[in-house]
C-alpha cells in the first residue's frame, strides 16, 4: 500500500498477481522463523535476482510473496511483472496535474519529530490499548504499521518509553525518505516549495485555465 502505489494504480490501472498458495506460504513463514530473513533473501537472489535487488531482507512481506510466487508458479515475480506489463490497462488522464510539495530535509525532520511528540501527547497509548483490549493482536498487519507497532512494543515491555519515542520518530523519518525517493522517480511531478502556497495555487489555476 502507500500513497505512491495508490497514485500509480489510479494512473496505470491494476492487475492481479498469481493467487496466493496457503500451503507454500505457511512453509515459508515457518522457514522464516527457523532460518531468518537473510537466508530466504539469499534464496531469492538465486531465483529472482531482479526482485532481490529491489526487496530489502527486512521487508519480509514482499520477500515471502516473491518466493511464494516462484515456488507456486515456477516463474520469478520479475518476469511475471514484465509479461503482464504490456497487458496492464493504462488510464490516460490528459488533464492531470501532479504537484509535489518540496521541503528542506532538516525542516521536514523537525516537523516529523514534533508530530511524534503531538501524537504521543494525544492519547495515542489509550487508543492502542483500547484496540488490544478489543482483540486486535500485535500480529495483525494493521497493527504493525509505524506508530502502532512501536506503542505495542512499549506496552508489552519491549521498549522503555523514551526508546519507543526515539524509534517512532526515526522510523517515520525513514519512511518519509523512502517516499521522497519514490516520488523523485516520477517525471510528471511538478515540485514546488511547500511554503510557496501562492505558486502552488497559480500553477493549478494556470493548468485549469489552459485546459
Determine the Cα–Cα distance for residues 91 and 18; give it in Å rounded to an integer. Answer: 22
- 111: pLDDT confidence band, cut at 50, 70 and 90? very high
Judge whether residue 45 has pLDDT over 90: yes
Global confidence as pTM: 0.68
Residues ≥6 apart with Cβ < 8 Å to 29: 64
% of the chain at pLDDT higher than 90: 65
At residue 95, the 3 state secondary structure works out as coil
- Run of H or E including 47: helix 37-47
For the chain, the domains span 3-85, 106-184
How many C-alpha atoms does 103 have within 13 Å on its Cβ side? 16
Task: List pLDDT tens digits, range 75-98.
Answer: 998 888 777 655 555 555 667 889
103 confidence band (pLDDT: 50, 70, 90):
very high
Q: Is 106-184 assigned to CATH 1.10.287.890?
A: yes
Range 86-122 burial, b when 16+ CB lie within 10 A, else e: eeeeeeeeeeeeeebeeeeeeebbeebbeebeebbee
Give the pLDDT score at 193.
95
User: Which residues touch 186 (CB under 8 Å, ≥6 apart)?
Assistant: 98, 100
Once rounded to an integer, what is the mean pLDDT over residues 52-57? 89
5 has pLDDT over 70: yes
Q: Based on the number of CB atoms within 10 Å of its own CB, is 181 exposed (0-12), middle (13-18) or buried (19 or more)? A: exposed
C-alpha cell at 43: 534464496
What residue spans of 98-160 are helical by DSSP H? 105-120, 124-133, 148-155
In sequence order, the β-bridge partners of residue 192 are 101
CA distance 95 to 167: 41
Q: Distance (Å, rounded) from C-alpha 102 to C-alpha 113?
A: 18
Q: Which of 4-13, 72-81, 177-186 comes out lowest in average pLDDT?
A: 4-13
CATH number of 3-85, picked from 1.10.20.140, 3.40.350.10, 3.10.20.600, 3.40.50.720: 1.10.20.140
The pLDDT of residue 87 is: 56
Residue that wins the pLDDT comparison between 205 and 93: 205
Amino acid at each position: 500500500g502507500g500513497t505512491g502505489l495508490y497514485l500509480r494504480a489510479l494512473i496505470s490501472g491494476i492487475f492481479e498477481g498469481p493467487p496466493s498458495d496457503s500451503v507454500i506460504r505457511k512453509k515459508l513463514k515457518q522457514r522464516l522463523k527457523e532460518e531468518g530473513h537473510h537466508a530466504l533473501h539469499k534464496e531469492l537472489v538465486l531465483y529472482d535476482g531482479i526482485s532481490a535487488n529491489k526487496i530489502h531482507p527486512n521487508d519480509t512481506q514482499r520477500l515471502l510473496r516473491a518466493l511464494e510466487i516462484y515456488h507456486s508458479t515456477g516463474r520469478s515475480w520479475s518476469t511475471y511483472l514484465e509479461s503482464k506489463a504490456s497487458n496492464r490497462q493504462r488510464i490516460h488522464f490528459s488533464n492531470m496535474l501532479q504537484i509535489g510539495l518540496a521541503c528542506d530535509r532538516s525542516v521536514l525532520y523537525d516537523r516529523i519529530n514534533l508530530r511524534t511528540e503531538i501524537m504521543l501527547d494525544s492519547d495515542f497509548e489509550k487508543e492502542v490499548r483500547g484496540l488490544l483490549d478489543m482483540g486486535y493482536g500485535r500480529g495483525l498487519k494493521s497493527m504493525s504499521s509505524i506508530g502502532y507497532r512501536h506503542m505495542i512494543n512499549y506496552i508489552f515491555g519491549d521498549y522503555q518509553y523514551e526508546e519507543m519515542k526515539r524509534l517512532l520518530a526515526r522510523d517515520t523519518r525513514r519512511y518519509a525518505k523512502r517516499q521522497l525517493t519514490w516520488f523523485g522517480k516520477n517525471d510528471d511531478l511538478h515540485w514546488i516549495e511547500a511554503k510557496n502556497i501562492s505558486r502552488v495555487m497559480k500553477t493549478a489555476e494556470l493548468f485549469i485555465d489552459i485546459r
